[in-house]
Chain A
């Protein structure tokens, strides 16, 4: 039978005869290499994002982590573990599922042992080193305790937690362990908030030549300024970095007198700062928090910074609209054509239609309880009916002007 049909089809033009065309099987065609052979998306991305380690490497500029003899440490730890195993009370608690460890102690021990490796990883995740030091990094070997206090409530700074600007109005208490004769400097910068230069930072606080851990006795180079992330820009990182000084450094060229409310003067670049003084400075401590806009900032902008409050909105990429076709088959003509019109013009038409029924002096009529129950006068084509229904129900493009 098929043989006969084949003969028959060869006599006529296959393009014109749909009956014959239906007999041709359009099988499944595999494009490209089969799945086992072709590279996966992950492999492709790895190839694209590959960075040559001989060119893209990072330099450790920080203080070295404390060196501990592995054998003595092991001995100590083994003896402790043995004692733990003999502790019958601990066993009882553990077996009854009631053992609760002391979180503070655990945290202290963590900061002393593996904590700085973990914090370094986390800071990389937050892009701290990349945006402050470029191709350099450091291990935060010196645990830095920063505490904001507002109305007797403490707001500690760790590594990325959220602190509202209203809680950080006054300068924080800073604590770290240090020898008496060592000199330190502490800097608080915001790499996300610069209004005009994208690769610069605002310096919020700078105390130099701190003897030991007495911040009050240090030399205040730049006075403390509270965080002021503008509305709509999201979360800004505010990074405390503690540098160890080799000797007393003269910071007079960076010194700002008074409260320094001129933002241009607070422009700062950690990379430049560090480059010029890298012989005498070594970063050792790190703490950072994130902060976003809150309602107290309006007053701060108006009264303290003496400027209009800037408000931003995220600029989403425009939706993809495929090139227009001559004959858009099986698509509603009005919806299709609207996609290729100027959106401002469409919005204007909606606005004009709305303003037609607005009286300048009278109050607007109350909204109808059942807007869709209004009768259509005369004969209205279906597409226009639908458009009207959509406008009544506030569906679709009418929302752009509402």
Chain B
């Protein structure tokens, strides 16, 4: 549950009182969207233990795995587990591929996953995958994801300044380009 304080500081305007909207009694507002705070960058993000590897500091994380025949890519949420997936095992991809674990399979899997990520509103995803070869399959996969519009870095969680803190950092939701 996320409570949002009402700070209506608008100067009084000529508001017609015939419409009932004018006398709506608005006090607290609750946005029930479970992804809202994460997208606003103020949701809880586990810190994990800093020397632990792989770390646990993410909202959404990219996972890539390969079996003998197929490649699987998933987006994992720290609480909800796997939330989005794509693999060359799916008939939709397999139908158009020559082989399901070669370089072009990896590249096309990246394209498909990028498309699904954008469609589902997961634009920023944490990734700790380091490609073993700079021009290998995994690098191709990551390249396709980034070309498709997915950002492979997540912004840090915004923590509110305490009154005694030295600086007041800019609030991410007040920045408008």
The interface of chain A, by Cβ under 8 A from chain B, is 77, 80-81, 84-85, 87, 90-91, 93-95, 97-103, 105-110, 113-114, 118, 121-122, 124-127, 131, 158-162, 191-193, 195-196, 198, 230, 232-237, 261-264, 289-290, 302, 305-316, 319, 335, 338-339, 343, 346, 395-397, 399-400
Q: Taking chain B's interface residues, is the majority helix, strand, or loop, or is none over half, making it mixed?
A: loop
For the complex, give the distance between the alpha carbons of A113 and B91 in Å: 8
Residue contact A311 to B9, C-beta cutoff 8 Å: yes
For the complex, give the distance between the alpha carbons of A80 and B98 in Å: 11
- Which A residues are CB-close (under 8 A) to B119? 158-161
Question: What 0/1 readout, one digit per residue, does chain B (112-153) give for beta carbons within 8 Å of chain A?
Answer: 100110111110000000000000000010000000000000
| Besides A125-B35, A191-B32, A310-B8, 6 other A-B contacts (C-beta < 8 A) | A118-B84, A159-B121, A306-B19, A309-B10, A313-B7, A399-B167
Known: A235-B39, A290-B33. A110 touches B164 (CB 8 A): no
For the complex, give the distance between the alpha carbons of A335 and B165 in Å: 11
Question: What 0/1 readout, one digit per residue, does chain B (92-127) give for beta carbons within 8 Å of chain A?
Answer: 111111110011110110011001101111100000
Q: Which B residues, 21 to 56, have Cβ-Cβ distances below 8 Å to chain A?
A: 21-22, 24-26, 29-37, 39-40, 42
Known: A261-B21, A302-B13, A319-B162. A314 touches B4 (CB 8 A): yes
Q: List 14 A-B contacts (CB under 8 A).
A: A85-B98, A94-B102, A94-B105, A95-B102, A124-B80, A159-B120, A261-B19, A289-B121, A307-B21, A310-B29, A311-B7, A312-B5, A312-B6, A335-B164
- Does B66 make an interface contact (CB < 8 A)? no
Across chains A and B, which 3 residue pairs bring their CB atoms closest together, nearest first? A160-B121, A94-B98, A158-B119
For the complex, give the distance between the alpha carbons of A4 and B58 in Å: 59
Nearest-Cβ distance from residue B68 to partner chain A, whole angstroms: 16
For the complex, give the distance between the alpha carbons of A136 and B40 in Å: 29
For the complex, give the distance between the alpha carbons of A305 and B4 in Å: 21
* Partner of B26 from A93, A94, A195, A316 at Cβ < 8 Å: A195
Known: A97-B104, A161-B119. A314 touches B5 (CB 8 A): yes
Nearest-Cβ distance from residue A366 to partner chain B, whole angstroms: 23
For the complex, give the distance between the alpha carbons of A95 and B102 in Å: 8
- Which A residues are CB-close (under 8 A) to B20? 262-264
- Which A residues are CB-close (under 8 A) to B8? 308, 310-311
Nearest-Cβ distance from residue A58 to partner chain B, whole angstroms: 15
For the complex, give the distance between the alpha carbons of A392 and B92 in Å: 64
* Partner of A192 from B33, B103, B105 at Cβ < 8 Å: B33
Nearest-Cβ distance from residue B64 to partner chain A, whole angstroms: 17
For the complex, give the distance between the alpha carbons of A185 and B31 in Å: 27
Question: What 0/1 readout, one digit per residue, does chain B (148-177) give for beta carbons within 8 Å of chain A?
Answer: 000000000000111111111000010000
* Partner of B29 from A108, A126, A233 at Cβ < 8 Å: A233
Residue contact B164 to A339, C-beta cutoff 8 Å: yes
Nearest-Cβ distance from residue A111 to partner chain B, whole angstroms: 9
